[in-house]
Structure 1
Amino acid sequence: MAKAIMIQGTGSNVGKSMVVAGLLRALRIRGLEVRPFKPQNMSNNAAVTADGGEIGRAQALQARACGVDPHTDMNPVLLKPQTATGAQVVVQGKVVGNQEARAFGSKKTTLMPAVLESFSRLASQCDMIVVEGAGSPAETNLRAGDIANMGFARAAHVPVILMGDIDRGGVIAQIVGTDAVLDADDRAMVKGFCVNKFRGDRSLFDEGRDDIVRRTGWPSLGVLPWFDQASRLPAEDVMDLPARARSGGAGLVISVPQLPRISNFDDLDPLIAEPNVDLRMITRGTPIPADSDLVLLVGSKSTIADLAALRSEGWDIDIAAHVRRGGHLAGLCGGYQMLGQTISDPLGVEGEASTVAGLGHLAVDTVLEPIKHLAQRSGTHLESGTDINGYEIHIGSTVGADCTRPVLQLEGTDEGATAANRRVWGCYLHGLFASDNFRAAYLASLGATSTIAYDDGVEETLDALAAHMERYFDIDALIELAGQTA
């Protein structure tokens, strides 16, 4: 029978995803068969699984840390924000509809059976599951019907370790305050705490750690130093991207407009990792730099809305000037759709039924459809002849004259479009920049040299993260505190 432990955070972005990945790799190195699990995730950075569904990208990385393929059971509920108050709801890998936040809050308890079903299936496959919470259990206004934190922990009888982030300050209040607002039954689920992202001499926090123990009665499982190599792992949160990109550095300048509903931005990670690439996230109120060698438009959860946002910033004008100067332009998925002549949404898949003009840099037209294309794909980049692997996750189909110059051939099918000037292209395949030979060939065509093996770097970083956990986290205590699944 599998054991399970849950890492909950005092807030969002305290490092739960990274710590869970490190613990899973450390447990795997110890010889345990392990699996990741996140009951409910909210992210537009999704991965496509071999069983034809989608889960949060962080759980795909955690599956990699375990040495197994990602599966929809690892993240049974995924919310993909489309508007400020609404999201697409994905259950066990499949879209079940769109919901406003208020409506979802009243109906989320209906999803608990699917969550527990997925958890049970995972438990039958392994020795131990490390579960990741979402946000914070201290959000008492969200406690009723919760399936992401204490609601799940209690339903599945999974003990909890609470993690705080000392880098943002006030970590004693974070942890002690969480203890103060939890009800007695929720508080009883917490078996210990840890502190993440410490910089400097850890002994300086000994008194603070001991004060938390006195005030809560929870044992400390560790004070984790800042993990410098974290930027080498795929980012889950778009808010991390500007800090990860090396704006102002040396090398080939790739500019990426950061649109409000940007999705699948892990396409950028291999480029960010390249020392000879200066990838710049272009945020609101900032023009696209005139020294850009390549402007790259990545995925979007709401293509038409993001295209309107792009125009409101004046980036369409900057892009047109960039192309006139002889610059290169590329689009992936939603970015590919934006580069065409028109985008039609006759059934109102993204909102009101409409047809809008695209940026006009590719002679193609897109029609959005309610059917989502989800598949892992492999093939060849036609210009360089290099092998590529990736995945499709999109709605809509794109056709037009420039499709007679495809970018890729995937299992015998042409994919993508290239402009007659050969400097503008787009396709639906995510993940192609992680293919080392393609990335090296493409960067070489732009005058830059690739110097890394991306996947090898991710594996090395996961191993280093596991060693970090072994050194600073009491993994023996973690295993001892873990509970048996039903």
Structure 2
Amino acid sequence: MRALMLQGTGSNVGKSLLVAGLCRAALRRGLKVAPFKPQNMSNNAAVTADGGEIGRAQALQALACGLPPVTDMNPVLLKPESESGSQIIVQGHRVATLKARDYAAYKPKLLAPVLESFHRLSTAYDLVIIEGAGSPAEVNLRAGDIANMGFAQAANVPVVLVGDIDRGGVIAQLIGTQAVLTPDDAALVQGFIINKFRGDPRLFDDGYSFIQSRTGWRGFGVLPYFPAATRLPGEDAQDLRRPRPVSIAPGAVKIACLALSRIANFDDLDPLRAEPGVDLTLVEPGHPIPGDTALVIIPGSKSTRGDLAFLRAQGWDIDLLAHHRRGGRILGICGGYQMLGQDIADPDGLEGPPGTTKGLGLLNITTRMAHQKQLGLVQAIHSESGLRVSGYEIHLGQSQGPDKSRPFAMVGPRPDGAQSQDGLVMGSYLHGLFHEDAFRAAFLATLGVPMSSRPHAKGINTVLDSLAAHLETHLKLDSLLTLSA
């Protein structure tokens, strides 16, 4: 078994990106490599080839390995539904919805399936590159831990700690982490990486040497900031606020997306962010929908009725009606599609308190939440253009009503989504629909966006290759990969 685990001095230090880059670098060296994250927390999930769901970051890492994503790559996924509770996904499938305190008691039961998934991968591949979650310095979470040192101890894998110099205090991040680890856990740490350095890395030579002398850990390099990371899919909702990967062209068409409180599967927006002819605006809470918007997107949500109440609290329901009266277009995706209907019924309280919520009334459909989750990869045909749409479904509700006689797309003989009689309001359960280049170009052309020649999937692979080359240049990759031998 060969495996290497990256843990961080905190959240968002760049672990996911580093694992993706290491995976692509190992692949380019001729290794059969797979990613693994024991426990993730994200509402931006990917549907896997084996019919489950995992965190979006692991799907990107699988792509970096040249693999289809499978559930073993992220055996435990937590999907927050409220401030205090999350849906628990184990090996791709929902097993419970638990509050944080209840999950702490439940967590030790999850080590067995985590190790089961890890051992399946480690026997099938030359190398498994593992991503921790949060930080091992959160020693209050050490009991029953399956995400960081608890897993590393159980699987007996070497650990490299990642510090983020961009946020400041990286010397204290690394030395402080060592100070709070138990001797047994600290013994698993084989070295560290300094990530996101801006400027001349030689200016940090003294700090780098100080960390090595104080911790006894080996330094594996100082990695300069990688600006092209903005072109890769993000997993955290904060990634929606990253700088755009391309400049906005003069006369770009404005598309507004509502920043729902439980926004989910927002990678739907990534191809639009990369279009120079699109001015994609994230409408933040407390702000109105801009009056010059051509299309408003209501995205997916992990708590549809809760986010519908949130939408109304911002006054966006009034803005949407005004936008529609002016002839503006509206697209609802998944939970956003459900919100556009007449009402949403959740009699069993699958996404919150039981009850029924009145919808926005812009589509003549009704939705009822059901225990059976619709989950799978999808090939569809867009009804108006006749073009192929590749995507995935991941939702609880089923929608019915007269406007479904005008489906957004056809999934084989089955209609998907609905359109209003005036054609201005559209809804679909299909996530990832804008990733299909031909469909995206045709859809945007109806809004007046010039034809784009940017292939989205090819662009992601190009950035992954650049990231691997970046790591080869600045890190001691031979030494890093030798740790796993």
Is the CA contact (8 Å cut-off) linking 2:228 and 2:245 kept in structure 1?
no
For residue 58 of structure 2, what is the amino acid of its counterpart? Q
Normalising by the residue count of structure 2, what TM-score does the alignment of the two structures yield? 0.98
Residue aligning to 1:343: 344
SS of residue paired to 1:476 = helix
SS of residue paired to 1:124 = helix
Residue aligning to 1:163: 162
Residue aligning to 2:415: 414
Is the CA contact (8 Å cut-off) linking 1:245 and 1:278 kept in structure 2?
no
Residue aligning to 2:322: 321
Percent identity reads 57
Distance (Å, rounded) in 1 between the aligned partners of 2:297 and 2:217:
48
Unpaired runs of 5+ residues, structure 2, are none
Q: Deviations over 1:338-386 (max 9, x none)?
A: 0111101111111221111111111111001111110101021111111
Residue aligning to 1:127: 126
Structure 1 residues 47 and 457, CA, compared in 2 at 3 Å: closer, same or farther?
A: same
Distance (Å, rounded) in 2 between the aligned partners of 1:245 and 1:117:
40
Residue aligning to 2:233: 234
For residue 413 of structure 2, what is the amino acid of its counterpart? G
Alignment of 1:350-429 (within 5 A): 350-429=351-430
Shift of 1:246: 8.1
Correspondence for 1:471 among 470, 473, 478:
473
Distance (Å, rounded) in 1 between the aligned partners of 2:247 and 2:388:
32
Distance (Å, rounded) in 1 between the aligned partners of 2:247 and 2:38:
39
Residue aligning to 1:262: 263
Is the CA contact (8 Å cut-off) linking 1:248 and 1:278 kept in structure 2?
no
Q: Deviations over 1:20-76 (max 9, x none)?
A: 000000000000000000000000000011111000010001000000110000000
Q: Deviations over 1:120-170 (max 9, x none)?
A: 000111100000000000001101110000000000001000001111111
Is the CA contact (8 Å cut-off) linking 2:246 and 2:275 kept in structure 1?
no
Alignment of 1:187-226 (within 5 A): 187-226=186-225
Is the CA contact (8 Å cut-off) linking 1:27 and 1:34 kept in structure 2?
yes
SS of residue paired to 2:377 = strand
Residue aligning to 2:147: 148
Shift of 1:248: 10
Q: Deviations over 1:71-106 (max 9, x none)?
A: 000000000000101000000001001011011112
Residue aligning to 2:282: 281
Is the CA contact (8 Å cut-off) linking 1:244 and 1:272 kept in structure 2?
no
SS of residue paired to 2:361 = coil
Is the CA contact (8 Å cut-off) linking 1:247 and 1:278 kept in structure 2?
no
For residue 220 of structure 2, what is the amino acid of its counterpart? L
Alignment of 1:455 onto 2:457 = yes
Is the CA contact (8 Å cut-off) linking 2:347 and 2:354 kept in structure 1?
yes
Structure 1 residues 248 and 37, CA, compared in 2 at 3 Å: closer, same or farther?
A: closer
Structure 1 residues 247 and 421, CA, compared in 2 at 3 Å: closer, same or farther?
A: farther
For residue 386 of structure 1, what is the amino acid of its counterpart? L
Residue aligning to 1:117: 116
SS of residue paired to 1:188 = helix
Is the CA contact (8 Å cut-off) linking 1:20 and 1:62 kept in structure 2?
yes
- Greater Cα shift, 247-256 or 163-172: 247-256
Distance (Å, rounded) in 2 between the aligned partners of 1:348 and 1:110:
25
Is the CA contact (8 Å cut-off) linking 2:246 and 2:276 kept in structure 1?
no
SS of residue paired to 1:310 = helix
Residue aligning to 1:46: 45
Distance (Å, rounded) in 2 between the aligned partners of 1:275 and 1:375:
31
Distance (Å, rounded) in 2 between the aligned partners of 1:330 and 1:75:
31
Distance (Å, rounded) in 1 between the aligned partners of 2:231 and 2:248:
17
Shift of 1:412: 2.4
Q: Deviations over 1:147-199 (max 9, x none)?
A: 00000000000100000111111111111110111010000000000011111
Alignment of 1:181 onto 2:176 = no
Is the CA contact (8 Å cut-off) linking 2:246 and 2:274 kept in structure 1?
no
Q: Deviations over 1:309-332 (max 9, x none)?
A: 000011111111111111110010
For residue 440 of structure 2, what is the amino acid of its counterpart? R
Residue aligning to 1:433: 434
Is the CA contact (8 Å cut-off) linking 1:233 and 1:461 kept in structure 2?
yes
Is the CA contact (8 Å cut-off) linking 2:231 and 2:245 kept in structure 1?
no
SS of residue paired to 1:207 = helix
Q: Deviations over 1:403-454 (max 9, x none)?
A: 0001101122111100111111001010110000000000001000223110
Shift of 1:245: 4.7
SS of residue paired to 2:379 = strand
Residue aligning to 2:19: 20
Distance (Å, rounded) in 2 between the aligned partners of 1:479 and 1:13:
23
Shift of 1:285: 1.4
For residue 43 of structure 1, what is the amino acid of its counterpart? S
SS of residue paired to 1:367 = strand
SS of residue paired to 1:174 = helix
Distance (Å, rounded) in 1 between the aligned partners of 2:50 and 2:248:
41
Shift of 1:243: 2.2
RMSD: 1.2
Distance (Å, rounded) in 2 between the aligned partners of 1:248 and 1:476:
37
Residue aligning to 1:57: 56
Unpaired runs of 5+ residues, structure 1, are none
For residue 36 of structure 1, what is the amino acid of its counterpart? P
Distance (Å, rounded) in 1 between the aligned partners of 2:407 and 2:212:
61
Shift of 1:288: 1.0
Residue aligning to 1:35: 34
Residue aligning to 2:333: 332
